[in-house]
Amino acid sequence: MNYDSLLADPTARIARRPYIAALLTLLAAFVFYYVLVRGGSGRFGMLVMLYPAAMLLMGRLRGMGRPAWLAAAPAALIVAAFWLGSTQPGSTAHTDVSLAAFVVSAAFAAWGLFGKERT
């Protein structure tokens, strides 16, 4: 598999090994934007990475025999966290939603790492 099918194909079925490689690449890009690119540019870069991350998770869920729409849960929380960060930075709601987005996203990533293949 190439990165086009892993990160941009909404119909892909992704096995565990390519999922791990693509997930590590996305995490490295996220850390780059989070640590080195500050301000609105960094936030925008991380928000743009939501699409390939959602495509990757959807493909992995299909590879595990699960419905791809389950990827909407972490994606919605991430969008809500970004929106609250733009409108209410530092608020309790922003902190709580950001923490929930992180926990749910990490849980889905782990599920993709350890979930069994199904056809």
Is 10 part of any domain?
A: yes
**Residue 24 pLDDT > 70, yes or no?**
yes
Is 37 part of any domain?
A: yes
Is 119 part of any domain?
A: no
Is 41 part of any domain?
A: yes
Is 58 part of any domain?
A: yes
Is 110 part of any domain?
A: yes
Is 73 part of any domain?
A: yes
Q: Write the pLDDT tens digit of every residue in 69-111.
A: 999 999 999 999 989 988 888 788 888 999 999 999 999 999 9
**Residue 119 pLDDT > 70, yes or no?**
no
- CA-based nearest residue to 112, from 82, 45, 104: 104
As a whole number of angstroms, the distance between CA 23 and CA 27 comes to 6
Q: Which domain holds residue 25?
A: 3-114
Q: What is the pLDDT of residue 85?
A: 85
Q: State the total domains in the chain.
A: 1
As a whole number of angstroms, the distance between CA 3 and CA 8 comes to 8
Q: Write the pLDDT tens digit of every residue in 42-62.
A: 888 988 999 999 999 999 999
Instruction: Categorize the per-residue pLDDT at 1 as very low, low, confident or very high, splitting at 50, 70 and 90.
Output: low
